Amino acid sequence: MRRKMAAGNWKMNGTSADLDEIDALGDAVPDPGCEIVICPPATLLHRMAARCDGGPVAVGGQTCHSAANGAHTGDVSAAMLVDAGATHVIVGHSERRQDHAETDAAVRAQTLAAWDAGLTAIVCVGETEAERDALNTLEIVGGQLAGSVPDAATGENLVIAYEPVWAIGTGRTPTLTDIGEVHDFIRTALERRFGEGVGRSVRILYGGSMKPGNAAEIGAVSNVDGGLVGGASLKAADFAEIVRALS
Ligand code: PGA
C-alpha cells in the first residue's frame, strides 16, 4: 500500500516569522494520517528542519544542482540540503524548467545527485495549456518522465508530481477524469519501465491549485497518492485541511 503524501512547496515565499506556521501545522494535525513534507526557500530550510526534528513533518529543498560542490554561484547542492536537514527535494518543477531553462537531461542529473546524497526526489512533469489543447498531454508527460527519471528508481527514492502547468497558481484544475487518465498513464509507464513491484510503489502526486475544497475528491482519484501544494501550503490552517483530506 502506498502511503499518501501531502507536500508543500513554499516557492519564493516565507521569512523567519513564517516558521511559526510549522508549529501551527503540528498543533492542527498532531498525528497526521499521511506523510507530510514542506519545501521552504533554502534560507529557512535549516531552521525549519530543526523545528520539525522528531515530529512527523519532513523538510525538503525546491531544487538542487547536479554537482556536489564547486563554482556555481547561487546554487545549492543536494549534500548541502541534507546538511541543512532535508530528506526530500523537488526537481524539475515547471517554474524551474521555464525560468532556468532546465531540460529533462538536467532534471535527470539533479535527480541522480539527489539520490547520491540520500534524498527522495520529487520529480515534476506536466503539460502546458497549448500542449493540452493540441491533445499532446500524454506524449509530453511520457517524454518528461522518460527523460527526467534515472534508471535506479525505487518506491523510496522517487515520487512523481503531475502538475499541469496551466493549473499552477491559477485556481483552475483538470477534471477528475483527466487527472485520473494522466495518473493511470504515469503508473503504467512506471510499471513498464521499472517492473510491477517498483512501478506500483512510487507515489504519484497531483499538483496545481489543490486546496482544502478539492483535495479530498482529487485524492480519491485512481493512482493519485497525494498532492504537491503551492499557495495553499503557506498557511497552516489550509494545509492542515488538505492533510486531513488526503489522510
Ligand atoms: P499551486 O502550486 O498549488 O499554487 O497551484 C503548485 C505547485 O506549483 O507546486
Domain annotation for the chain: domains and CATH numbers: 5-246 (3.20.20.70)
- What whole-number percentage of the chain has pLDDT above 70? 100
Closest residue by CA, ligand 1 atom 9: 230
Q: Residue 2: which of 242, 229, 202 has the closest Cα? A: 202
For 12-21, letters b (16+ CB in 10 Å) and e give: eebeeebbeb
User: Is pLDDT at 3 greater than 90 in this prediction?
Assistant: yes
User: Is pLDDT at 1 greater than 90 in this prediction?
Assistant: no
Does the CB atom of residue 124 touch ligand 1 within 6 A? Answer: no
Ligand 1 nearest-atom number relative to CA 90: 9
Q: Residue 21: which of 1, 3, 47 has the closest Cα? A: 47
Query: What is the average pLDDT across 128-138?
Result: 97
Per the CB < 8 A criterion, the answer to whether 15 and 216 are in contact is no
Does the CB atom of residue 122 touch ligand 1 within 6 A? Answer: no
Which class for 240: exposed (0-12), middle (13-18), buried (19 or more C-beta within 10 A)? buried
pTM: 0.98
Does the CB atom of residue 231 touch ligand 1 within 6 A? Answer: yes
d(CA 200, CA 223): 9
Per the CB < 8 A criterion, the answer to whether 212 and 185 are in contact is no
Ligand 1 nearest-atom number relative to CA 208: 5
Closest residue by CA, ligand 1 atom 7: 230
Q: Residue 29: which of 176, 225, 239 has the closest Cα? A: 239
How far does residue 233's CA lie from ligand 1's centre (Å)? 9
pLDDT at 102: 98
Specify the residue for cell string 498532492. 227
Tell me the HSE value of 230 on the side-chain side, using a 13 A CA sphere: 19
217 flagged as catalytic: no
Q: Residue 199: which of 160, 246, 148 has the closest Cα? A: 160
Q: How far lies 33's CA from each of 6, 90, 201, in Å?
A: 10, 22, 18
Query: For 5-44, how does the pLDDT look when each residue is reduced to its tens digit (9 = 90+)?
Result: 999 999 999 999 999 999 999 999 999 999 999 999 999 9
Handedness of CA 150, 154, 157, 158 (dihedral sign): positive
163 flagged as catalytic: yes
User: Is pLDDT at 109 greater than 90 in this prediction?
Assistant: yes
The amino acid occupying position 97 is R
Catalytic option among 21, 95, 127, 163: 163
Closest residue by CA, ligand 1 atom 2: 230
Nearest 10 degrees: Cα torsion 81, 85, 87, 89: -30
Does the CB atom of residue 9 touch ligand 1 within 6 A? Answer: yes
Does the CB atom of residue 228 touch ligand 1 within 6 A? Answer: yes
Does the CB atom of residue 209 touch ligand 1 within 6 A? Answer: yes
